[in-house]
Structure 1
C-alpha cells in the first residue's frame, strides 16, 4: 500500500495582479539564496559587531610598558657606593656610581618587534624626572656600571612650581623622541633593559608615573 503525502504551503497574501497564491519561502531559505547569489542584505547588528571588533584590533596593536624599580639592583648599587665611602676607596676609572636621589628601573619586553609611539609621564607637584638608559646588557652584581654604557640623550621631564595641575608636563621633545626610538631599536634584541631614574627638584617616587607606549610591528 502506497501512501503519498503532498504538502503545499501557501502564503496568506496574494501576488498583486494575480489570483493565484504565491509559494511561501522561509526567511532562512531566502537568506541562503541571497548569499549564494552574492546579494546579501545588510545586517546592522553584524556591521556593528564588525566595527567594534576593528576598534579592539586597533587597541591590540599598541603596547604600554611601565618603568618598574628593580629593588635588588638598586640595593647592590647603593651598597657599592657606601662601601667605597666607608673604606675611603676611589671608584674605578670611568665607573658610574648611583647617586642618593637615583634608583635602578627596568622595562621587560614580552614582545620585541616594536616601534616607538609616545611617552606617558605624570608628575604631581613641582619636580624633575630624569630617565637615563643603559646601552649594554648589564647588572651590578656582575660588573660595575661605566659611564660609557649610558645612552644619550636622556629623557627630561619636569613640572615647575605654580604650574596648574592639568598643565602638560614639560620636556625636551626632540630628545625624548630620539630616546624612545632608540629604546624600541634595542628592544628588538633584548628581553629586558635597565635605566637610571633620578628624582630631583622636589620630585618623589610616589608622585611620578612613567611608561612608554609602542606600536606592534606587523609583518607584511
Structure 2
C-alpha cells in the first residue's frame, strides 16, 4: 500500500478514469475532479468541479487542503473538444475559442497554481503531468482552438518545470494520438460508425490503436520514482503513427 496522494482531473472517463483506477489498485489515495459524475466515486475522493471556472477550482482545492496536508502527483487530464461547431479560423466562433482555451489550458494552469503548495510539502517523489495531444504538433484544419490549447499545455509544462525544479517537483506533458475514448465516441451516433473510425485509426498506427490504459501506464511511469530524472519534457504516444 502507498501513502502517496494523487489528484486527477477529468477522472470520470477515458484517460483520467483509467489512470484513477490504476492508481487506486496500487494503493494510492486518489482525489478526482470532473464536471461529470465519476463512476468510481465510491472508492476515490471525488469533487464535482467545473475546470473552466476559477472560483470552483479555488473552492475545491481549498476543501482538499482541509483534508490533506500534501499531494505527490497532479495529473491534468480534463479537456473539451468542440466536435460539432468546429470552423476555420476565418469563421471562428469566439465562444468556441474562449471556452476551449479556458478549460484545456487556463484550467490546468489554475489547478497547478492552487495545488503548488500542497505538492511542495510532499515527501519523496512529486510530479505534475499535463495531458496534451498529438494535435499540438500535427494539427488539422478546423481544429485550431483545441490544437492551440494543447500546444499551450506543452509550453506550460516547460514553464512549470523550470519554476518547480528547486522544489524537487518534476513537470512533464504527454501527447497521445487517437485514443479509444468518449472524445471519439461523441463524433458518431451509431456503433457501426464508431467501429469504422476505430478501424481506420487502428490501420494508421503500426502498433495499433491506443487504449486509455496504454496512456495511463505512461502517466504512472512519469509520475513515479522510476522517472526521477525526467522533467520539462513532452513525450509522444502515437502507436508509430508519425514515423
Same fold (TM over 0.5): no
Q: Which has the higher helix share?
A: 2
TM superposition score normalised by structure 1: 0.24
- For the pair shown, the structure with the greater C-alpha radius of gyration is 1
Q: Which has the higher strand share?
A: 1
Q: Which has the higher contact order (CA 8 A, sep 6+)?
A: 1
TM superposition score normalised by structure 2: 0.23
